[in-house]
């Protein structure tokens, strides 16, 4: 059995959403505790595609909160540089909320995970009863690559974007840490009440 405390899950969000997350956790759009003032940073067209894909239990992919297994994903490049019709967001305003697979399980949350981007038709969706095999089912070497354009491995980008999908609101106490771009972002989180020892400055998680 892998050490699920050491399989980290990354959720990107705008720094303006952090006060709501501290009070309510990471919430679904349909949650009773949803953030009415939510600041979006993602690709709207991709988000819409997720409303059209069903998971094995019949719920839609959009009903689940997606996490990546690492930082500096292709979607971050889109968000930072404003391609694909997405409004550019400065890296200082992008925060990673970090939890672990162990935290999701300890909080009794519903989840699936995939071996690639969840909207890709060739990606496989795995249920919670397969979690013991996650290190074999998810290509963690692909997750860690810095450059995903590879003429010898055209599937690398899809595998890099493997997802962990959570079907419930994630309580704030399940967030084990926050990753930010620089000292200014760290200081802003500290002003919101997050202790410094829960904030990591990791520029390598950004472009």
Sheet holding 177-180, edge to edge: 125-127, 111-114, 163-166, 65-68, 8-14, 94-100, 177-180, 199-201
Pairing of strands 199-201, 177-180: parallel
Quick: pLDDT tens for 6-33.
999 999 999 999 999 999 999 998 999 9
pLDDT in tens, 86-102: 999 999 999 999 999 99
DSSP string, 157-203: HHHHT-EEEESSPBPGGG--EEEESSHHHHHHHHHTT--GGGEEE-G
Please write the tens of the pLDDT for every residue from 35-68: 999 999 988 888 889 999 999 999 999 999 999 9
Q: What is the 3-state secondary structure (H, E, C) of 35-92?
A: CCCCCCCCCHHHHHHHHHCECCCCCEHHHCEEEECCCCCHHHHHHHHCCCCCCCCCHH
Q: What are the tens digits of pLDDT across the range 105-151?
A: 999 999 999 999 999 999 999 999 999 999 999 999 999 999 999 99
User: 26 exposed, middle or buried (CB, 10 Å; 0-12, 13-18, 19+)?
Assistant: buried
Tokens standing for 49? Answer: 């595609």
pLDDT at 72: 96
Gap between the Cα atoms of 51 and 105, Å rounded: 25
């Amino acid at each position: 059995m892998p050490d699920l405390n050491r399989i980290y899950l990354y959720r990107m969000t705008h720094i303006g959403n952090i006060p709501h997350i501290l009070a309510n956790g990471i919430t679904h759009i349909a949650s009773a505790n949803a953030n009415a003032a939510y600041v979006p940073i993602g690709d709207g067209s991709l988000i819409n595609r997720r409303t059209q894909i069903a998971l094995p239990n019949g719920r839609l992919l959009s009903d689940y909160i997606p996490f990546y297994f690492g930082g500096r994903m292709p979607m971050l490049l889109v968000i930072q540089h404003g391609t694909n019709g997405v409004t550019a967001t400065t890296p200082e305003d992008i925060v990673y909320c970090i939890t672990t697979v162990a935290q999701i399980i300890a909080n009794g949350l519903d989840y699936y995970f995939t071996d690639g981007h969840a909207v890709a038709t060739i990606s496989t969706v795995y249920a919670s009863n397969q979690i013991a095999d996650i290190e074999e089912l998810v290509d963690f070497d692909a997750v860690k690559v810095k450059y995903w354009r590879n003429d010898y491995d055209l599937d690398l980008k899809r595998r890099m974007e493997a997802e962990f999908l959570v079907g419930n609101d994630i309580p704030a106490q399940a967030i084990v840490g926050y990753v930010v771009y620089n000292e200014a972002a760290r200081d802003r989180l500290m002003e919101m009440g997050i202790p410094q020892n829960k904030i990591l400055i990791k520029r390598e998680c950004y472009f």
